[in-house]
Structure 1
Amino acid sequence: MGSSLLTNSSAMTALQTLRNVSSQLATTQNRISTGQRVSTASDNAAYWSIATSMRSDNAALSAISDSLGLSSATVDTEYTALTSVIGDKTGGLTKLQALLVEAKTAGIDRTKIQADITQIQQDMKLKANSATFNGINWLSINTSTGSSATPTSFNLVSSYSRVGGTPTIGSITVTTASYALYTTGGATQTGILDTVTGNSTTGFASVDNMSISALTDSAANQATLDAYIAQVTTAINTVASAAANLGAVKNRLATNTEFVKTLMDSVDRGVGQLVDADMNAESTRLQALQTQQQLGVQALSIANANSQSILSLFR
């Protein structure tokens, strides 16, 4: 083919090659600067869409993790108070039971024993009233029908999942009546420790208000002491059962918390496999493209020089 001033095929080819290399170089530089091979929908619409949805799910999981932390703190507060109310040989229901058994002894000064019992009763109520976290208390509840009433149940958010376009939020339901030690606002008190029981023979009392100061060694008064001991024993078993249930909820929340954190890491890894750039490959590609770009510039320069050589023919 002859030389032409109007059409420089070599320069056109070199320019096309240089343009292609520059485009690839820009793509590689973008991947290196963002760390992603799919950073916009135009890079890969399918992968970008999946990654965007998974990032949204991870944001929801992060919120679930925060909710689990709040729920765990609430449950831990109530659980701590319940176990403290059960107590041991130095206080709580366990000490109260021991004092009542001691009061069965003939000739003992029950007035002095009652002084200890009163302190234990006040201490247990104080612990129940203090078991409040973020304005929530399951041990001392309001059973009225007004706006100040304690909800009958609480849903503790525990999990999040999405199948297709349908999200599902799991929760653990806690019924407050199962843990209420004291109640206010209702016509009668229905808490574990303030519910009045008994009969006309042994008398009527709750764990919260029972008193032995006036009791004697008579058979009737001894029967009353037996009823009180049975009542406290029942309360210990009921509170222990409530604490065991809360302990199970506490363990479940702890397990879910760890699972959510692991799941978030797994989602992050999955998104990374879809959209993250292989920096080792990109750095190698960058060096190769930079070399090709330099060669392309040289090739274009040579092609353009060919047109200049035609002028020598007219000298």
Structure 2
Amino acid sequence: MTSILTNGNAMAALSTLRSISSNMEDTQNRISSGLRVGSASDNAAYWSIATTMRSDNMALSAVQDALGLGAAKVDTAYAGMESAIEVVKEIKAKLVAATEDGVDKGKIQEEINQLKDQLTSIASAASFSGENWLQANANGSVTKSVVASFVRDDKGNVSVKKVDYALNGGNVLFDTSGGNLGILDKTYNVSQKSVTVSVNTDGVASEHTVAAYSVDDLIAQNATFTTNTVAGKTTQLADVGGTFYVKIDENNWVEAMDVTGTGQEAVHDEGGVYYGVDTGAGPATAVAAPSSIANINIVGMSSTALDALISGVDAALTDMTSAAADLGSIGMRIDMQEEFVKKLSESIDKGIGRLVDADMNEESTRLKALQTQQQLAIQALSIANSDSQNVLSLFR
């Protein structure tokens, strides 16, 4: 049936044209935005995932900035510690030089004073962004943290991971709390000098490690020395307030006891009283150094005290080396984490792209096809509309 009121062909052609125009609008939006999923209405699941991951990527960008800041702090502390180690090495060398007979300790002390000032300068200057890890509270209650990563677990919970570095007496040069707990302002306990000797008792030899003393040690304690020669063998005995010491080699004296009738081979014969090694006189486990590095003053210091001070400085060097190694390992970890965060961020970008980015080759092809379809639909609508005009010819 032909009707001038209802044109079914035109209505069908118009519906097709509207559908094509809608598809063209979607395709043009994808081409202009570059997104296949630009809003929740396009694909709610993909849009939700992409939005969450974009948020996480922004957090990772902040983590990268924090890692850069943390790396700068660690590098500054490491540079300061490395420089301080070189200065303390110089101080140790000066102290060893001071052990030589006839050396002017006053002149050496002047050099040491300059080195101590340099240590103070290094510790004060090793600051970045207001933080100084070498000159801080060393009571163990302060922990410095560097943001390392932003993590979302499989349950959707988020957390920020950090690299912690606890400041304590083993890695802080100067203690700002006033407790003198820093490496350079604390007094170290050092092991007493010892020597291992072979003691013959009733024909059976056994080794014993005992405390060792130099002649300067004994002189400093106002010792009284006696010498005895028996059968061409000369031995020496020192008396320090009733405690006796025998000389066992060129450099060492050990505590002695009366071994008359004990079966132990005598080292010294003092008028019929025989003295041997006191095997129970083991070295002390902890002898305090005369001062901290920050307060070194060797003028008038005895050789015994100087030896203990050198041991204390060596112990401080061990702590400083360990602290520098810790800082170096943290710096390496931060560098590795920076690289990982960068790669992780790139991976997330790629993942988001796979979900929501438009394939421009595909969209371009689709647009060309839709443009052709649109032209055909317009032509079809034009033909359908002309059907009503053909009715006029029936009434002529």
The reply to whether TM is greater than 0.5 is yes
User: 50-59 or 177-186, which moves further after superposition?
Assistant: 177-186
Aligned equivalent of 1:63: 62
Letter in 2 for 1:171: K
2:291 equivalent to 1:205: yes
For residues 154-199 of structure 1, what are the alpha-carbon distances to aligned partners after superposition, in whole Å with 9 as ceiling and x for unaligned? 222111111232102111111111421111333x311011003469
What RMSD, in angstroms, separates the aligned Cα atoms of the two structures?
A: 1.8
Structure having greater relative contact order (Cα 8 Å, sep ≥ 6): 1
Match of 1:108 in 2: 103
Confirm or deny: 8 A CA contact 2:98 2:108 kept in the other structure. Answer: yes
- SS of 1:66's partner is helix
Instruction: Tell me the TM-score normalized by structure 2.
Output: 0.73
Q: Counterparts in 2 of 1:88-167, with a 5 A limit?
A: 92-142=87-137, 152-163=142-153, 164-167=155-158
- Structure 1 residues 310, 130: CA separation in 2 closer, same or farther (over 3 Å shift)? same
- Identity among equivalent positions (%) equals 48
> Aligned partners of 1:197, 1:43: CA distance in 2, in Å?
71
2-structure distance, mates of 1:278, 1:151: 56
In the alignment, which of 360, 373, 376 is matched to residue 279 of structure 1? 360
Q: Is the 8 A contact 2:289 2:311 kept in 1?
A: no
Give 1:53's aligned residue.
Answer: 52
The corresponding residue for 2:335 is 254
Question: Aligned partners of 2:110 and 2:89: how far apart in 1?
Answer: 16
More strand as a share of residues: 2
Tell me which residue corresponds to 1:314.
Answer: 395
CA contact (8 A) 1:51 1:274 kept: yes
Compute the displacement of 1:289 (Å). 0.5
1:81 has 2:80 as partner = yes
2:21–2:374 Cα contact (<8 Å) kept: yes
Quick check: 1:12 aligned with 2:23? no
* 2:299 counterpart SS class: coil
Farther-moved stretch of structure 1 (265-274 vs 60-69): 60-69
In structure 2, C-alpha distance between the alignment counterparts of 1:161 and 1:308, rounded to whole Å = 71
Cα distance change, pair 160–101 in 1 and its aligned pair in 2 (3 A): same
Note if contact 2:152-2:158 (Cα within 8 Å) is conserved in structure 1: yes
Give runs of ≥4 in structure 1 deviating > 6 Å. 198-203
Gaps of 5+ in 1: 145-149, 216-220
2:324 alignment partner, one of 214, 223, 243? 243
Query: Counterparts of 1:190-229 in structure 2 under 5 Å?
Result: 190-197=181-188, 204-215=290-301, 221-229=302-310
Judging changes above 3 Å, is the alpha-carbon distance between structure 1 residues 119 and 59 closer, same or farther for their aligned structure 2 residues?
same
- CA distance change for structure 1 residues 8 and 74 in 2, over 3 Å: closer, same or farther? same
Q: State the partner residue of 1:174.
A: 165
Q: CA deviation at 1:143?
A: 5.9
2:289–2:312 contact (8 Å) kept in structure 1: no
- Rounded Cα–Cα distance in structure 2 between residues aligned with 1:141 and 1:40: 52
Contact 1:198 1:205 in 2 (8 A): no
Q: Does structure 1 retain, via aligned residues, the 8 Å contact 2:172–2:183?
A: yes
- 8 A contact 1:198–1:204 mirrored in 2: no
Deviation at 1:203, TM superposition (A): 6.6
Q: What amino acid is the match of 1:193?
A: L
TM-score normalised by length of structure 1: 0.91
Task: For residue 16 of structure 1, report the CA deviation from its aligned partner.
Answer: 1.0
Q: Which residues of structure 2 form unaligned runs of 5+?
A: 191-219, 222-287
Query: Helix, strand or coil: the match of 1:204?
Result: coil
| CA–CA distance in structure 2, aligned partners of residues 198 and 66 of structure 1 | 43
CA distance in 1, matches of 2:319, 2:188: 15
Secondary structure at the counterpart of residue 208 of structure 1: helix
Alpha-carbon shift at residue 211 of structure 1 (Å): 1.2
Equivalent residue number for residue 147 of structure 1: none
Q: Cα distance 1:269–1:198, how it changes in 2: closer, same or farther (>3 A)? A: closer
Matched residue of 2:128: which SS? coil
Aligned residue for 1:176, secondary structure, equals strand
Counterpart CA distance in 1 for 2:316 and 2:97 is 18
SS in 1 for 2:69: helix
Cα deviations by residue, 1:109-148 (Å, 9 ceiling, x for unpaired): 121111111111110111011111111111111469xxxx
Distance in 2 between residues matched to 1:24 and 1:151, nearest whole Å: 66
Query: One-letter code of the match for 1:152?
Result: V
> 2 CA distance for matches of 1:19 and 1:153?
67
Aligned equivalents of 1:198 and 1:111: distance in 2? 25
Contact 1:11–1:304 under 8 Å retained in 2: yes
The whole-number CA distance in structure 1 between the counterparts of 2:336 and 2:120 is 32
CA contact (8 A) 2:137 2:167 kept: no
Give the 3-state SS of the residue equivalent to 2:136 in structure 1.
strand
| 8 Å contact kept, 2:173–2:182 | yes
